[in-house]
Structure 1
Amino acid sequence: MKRILLLLVVFILFPSVLLAADSLLVFAGAGMRLPLDVIGKKFEEKYHVQVIYDYEGSGRLGNKILAGQTPDVYIPGSERWAKILKKKDYVKDYFPIAYHIPVIVTPLNNEKVKSLKDFLRHDVTLVLGDPKACAIGKVSQKIFKKAGLREDKMNIVARGVTVKQLVHWIEGNNADASIVWHADAVQSGKVRIVEIPKEVNAIALIPICTMTKTSHPEIAKKYVDFVLKEGKKIFADFGFKVAE
């Protein structure tokens, strides 16, 4: 019994330790779950290797890596964490997959918000990403800075740790507006989309990272190559603008 409990603790803290040779651990931003689930199934069919995903906010996943957890591949929602981890020698290299384009979303029948300026209205409630937990939170801050808007003047009622959580809150009419990725808004189909002007928007590159330390370097390379060669079309099918 003690041995079983010990193994469970080790798996929770260091999941890559107990992965079999025919499996691959991928840390990925929650906003890419739909295309990556499809890619994972196709990769498994082709190479007979199980792909295990850990979906969370990019910041949370980045901090897991800093704490000692080692995935075979890391796919954050923006380039920021790829740069941080490469500088610290956790990431060996990274390559562009697609782009995350921020948009404003509101409940379908709610037209209070027509532009970013409406975020300063006292009667407008907002749910925004936590900048410490997810890429969209940090990107939203960049957009506000470019637009000359102060968050302390906004009526922010909650902070989400993933973009999917923000979309879910807006679908449920729990706030008047949020900023999420365009692909997630399209995938939802249950929110109203308001474009953000190009001059103040902050489009984020989605990178796929190879890790300096991995238990399965050959399989990890095959997965990265598969995503870059065959996976981009799948990303496009789910509303992403793919990188050339």
Structure 2
Amino acid sequence: MSNISAQVSGFSSSAQCCQSLEEDTLDCEPELSLVQLTLDHLTLDHLTLDQLSLVQLSLDQLSLDQLSLDQLSLDQLSLVQLSLDQLTLDHLTLDHLTLVQLTLDHLTLDQLSLVQLTLDHLTLDQLSLVQLTLDHLTLDQLSLVQLTLDHLTLDHLTLVQLSLDQLSLDHLSLVQLTLDHLTLDHLTLDQLSLDHLTLDQLSLDQLSLDQLSLDQLTEEPADLGTSP
């Protein structure tokens, strides 16, 4: 499937609930609202969805110039509420994306801009986000060769403004990451390069950063898993 141009304006599929007469259950269809959807190129080689549940999804503007997915496998994906005001993707390439379980209770994105995003291998066993709020997120270039996350749990994550000019990760492995409260008011990264980063367990009860600016940060190959 390629060279697709679709524009949907004012499309709304309201939730229809019906009471089953034989069974005492209430079946409701998810609510989907699309104000404008534009797809220039959409290519899907393999897409596998075992369970996908969307209670409420609202998209004001979504623009995709080119999206390529070789293999995408989702065992369980549940979204209680997802709101996107503006989402712009110039180039998005995913070679392998595997999600065993992804749960999002509340996800709010005011503005998200991605110029180039490249993911060779992304593996997520369990990802749980109770509340994630992003006011402004800007990524010029993000390259991930291999990212492996066994357990990632975020209770509260709030980002007022995040700007990344260049971010390159060759190998990133996280066995268990737990964040209770993380608050970032301003975070600016001009260049960040990580060749090898390995974290066995990282637990942060509360982390607050008002302003953090990094012009150049380069990490040599290091293994933090065995460090005391």
Q: TM-score, normalised by structure 1?
A: 0.21
The structure, 1 or 2, with the larger RCO (C-alpha pairs under 8 Å, 6+ apart) is 1
More helix by share: 1
Q: TM-score, normalised by structure 2?
A: 0.22
